[in-house]
Structure 1
Amino acid sequence: MYTHKNNVITQGKPLSETGKALILVHGRGATAQSILDLANYLPVQDFTLYAPQATNNSWYPYSFMAPEEQNQPALDSALALLDEVVKSTLSQGVKSEDVYLGGFSQGACLTSEYATRNARKYGGLLLFTGGLVGQQLVADRYKGDFAGTPVLISTGDPDPHVPVSRVDETAELMEKLGAIVTKKIYPGRPHTILQEELDLAGKILSSADKG
C-alpha cells in the first residue's frame, strides 16, 4: 500500500555529546514534530531526540487489532524504519540500554510491536495508550530478553482505539520476556496523555542519569 521513507527529525544535543537517544513515534494523523513537542514536558535535556515521520501521517491503514494482512505492507515498512533508527544510534557507539523508545496511540502500538519483536535491554519504553499489533497475538514472534527494561504502558477505560484487554496481554507478554512493567488504566480518561503519565515517564528517563 505504501512504504515509509527514512524521514527522521533530530532534536537536542548531538548523540556524541549525550550518549543517550530517545526515539519518539507519532500517532495516526499526527507528525514527527508534534510528538517532539511532547518532549517539552519530559526531562530530556541530556538526550538526543529522534522522531520518524510516517508517509501520509499514518504508520498503517487500519486498527492495530485488524487482521494483520490488512495493514501490510505498511506495517512491515514502519517496523523496518524504526529498526533503521535504532540501528543508526547503536552504530554510533550507543549501548541499547541507553536507547529509549516512546510513542502515543498508533505510535505506541508500533513501538511496542518493534521493541517486543526485538527484546533487549533498552533504557525504557514509554507506551502512551498502545499495545501489541494484530487481531490475535502471535506469541512466538516475540523474542529476546528485555533484561529488566522499565516499561510504562497505559490506556483509558474505555479507550476508543486501545482496549484494556490488549494492554493486559501486552504487559503480560513483555513481563515474560523480562520487562519490568508499570501498567496504568485510567477510568473515563479521554484519548490523551495525562500529567501523571508524563511524571511516570519522567521517572524512567531520569533514572538514566543515575546509571
Structure 2
Amino acid sequence: MSEIYQAMRRHDRSMPRDFAEHVIDHSQYGVLSLPDQPYPYAIPLSIVRDNQTLYFHSAKAGKKVELIEDSMQVCVTFVGKVQVPNLYSESEIARIAADPKSWGTLARTVFTTEFESAIIYGKIRKVTNEKELRKALRLIAKKYVPKHYSLVDKAIDTAFDYVQVYAIEIEHLSSKRKKYDDQGQEMKHARGWKV
C-alpha cells in the first residue's frame, strides 16, 4: 500500500501527525470505507481515537457487520473545518472580474474552499475483550455525550449484549489543509499550525 500513501499531489498542503490527530479528535464523524462488490461501501460513523487506535460501535447485524473481517485493511476519512474564504471586498472582486488576466485569481481564491482533512489506513478487528469494549464505549460517550458521562456505565450495562465495538489500528495517517492568512496568502507547509 505504500503507493497509496505517496499519492498526495499537493505536498505543500501536507500537515504533521499532530494536526491529523486534531482533525480526527474534533470531527463529528469519520467515513469508513470497506471493500464490496460491485462498489466500495462507505459509511459515516461516530469514531473516537485512543492513541493509535480508532473505536466505533455498531449493532451486531447489518451490512457493515457482514462486510467486516478481522485484519481487513480499511480506510477512514475525516473532514474538519470547511469554509469559503472571505479574502476580498465586493469592490475588489469586481475589479478582479473586470480584468481577464486576473480571472485565475477568482478560481484560486474566490471559487475555492479552505479545508482540513485526515485519512487513515489500518486494520480493523472486532473487540472481544470485555475490558477493552467497555473502555471504548466510555471513550465514545466522553467524546459525544460529555454532559451525561456520569451515566455511561448504566447505558453500557443495558446495551452490552446488543452492541458490538470495532477497533482500527492506525498503520498510516496523513492530513491536508488549505488555509489563508489575514493577508490573503495561503499558509503552506504547515505555517501557523499549533496544537
Category of TM-score, reference length = shorter chain: under 0.3
TM-score (norm 2): 0.24
Normalising by structure 1, what TM-score? Answer: 0.23
Structure index of larger Rg? 2
Larger RCO: Structure 1 or Structure 2 (Cα < 8 Å, ≥ 6 residues apart)? 2
Decide which structure has greater strand share.
2
